[in-house]
Amino acid sequence: MLIAFSVAPSGTGRADGSVHDAVAAAVAVVRASGLPHRTTSMFTEVEGEWDEVFDVVKRATEAVLPFGSRVSLVLKADIRPGHTGEIDGKVERLEQALDAAENASAGTED
């Protein structure tokens, strides 16, 4: 399964509204998990079995708790039993489709 999640505190008391220290604490949990993962500017993706992925999300959320009076968690899951390596595989198939479409359109321009 793939999980994309974003966790951030609110009620931090910071004038600039920044949450980077809290997010860093969450991402440190993900990195320490040893599971395949990727962090972007908006979400962190983690791949693994149901229990291990949700354990990481729970611990990452708990790591953010000390940074504010409450925590917001946004989560999206792709549950596809029997498939692994999808954190990269999905992106690779997308790039192949884009390349194929580009090559097809380049071949029709005369």
Residue 47 belongs to domain spanning: 2-83
Q: Is 99 inside a domain boundary?
A: no
What's the chain's average pLDDT? 93
CATH code where residue 21 lies: 3.30.70.930
Q: Is 50 inside a domain boundary?
A: yes
**What's the rounded Cα separation, in Å, for the pair 39 and 37?**
7
Q: Is 110 inside a domain boundary?
A: no
Quick: pLDDT tens for 46-100.
999 999 999 999 999 999 999 999 999 999 999 999 999 999 999 999 999 999 9
Query: Sheet holding 37-39: strands in order across?
Result: 37-39, 44-47, 2-10, 70-78
Q: Is 106 inside a domain boundary?
A: no
Q: Who's near 56: CB < 8 A, 6+ residues apart?
A: 29, 30, 33, 35, 46, 48
Q: Is 91 inside a domain boundary?
A: no
What is the domain count for the chain? 1
Q: Is 6 inside a domain boundary?
A: yes
Q: Is 90 inside a domain boundary?
A: no
Q: Is 89 inside a domain boundary?
A: no
Quick: pLDDT tens for 6-49.
999 988 777 887 899 999 999 999 999 999 999 999 999 999 99
Residues 22, 25, 27, 30, Cα dihedral to 10°: -140
Q: What is the DSSP string of 65-84?
A: GGGSSEEEEEEEEE--TT--
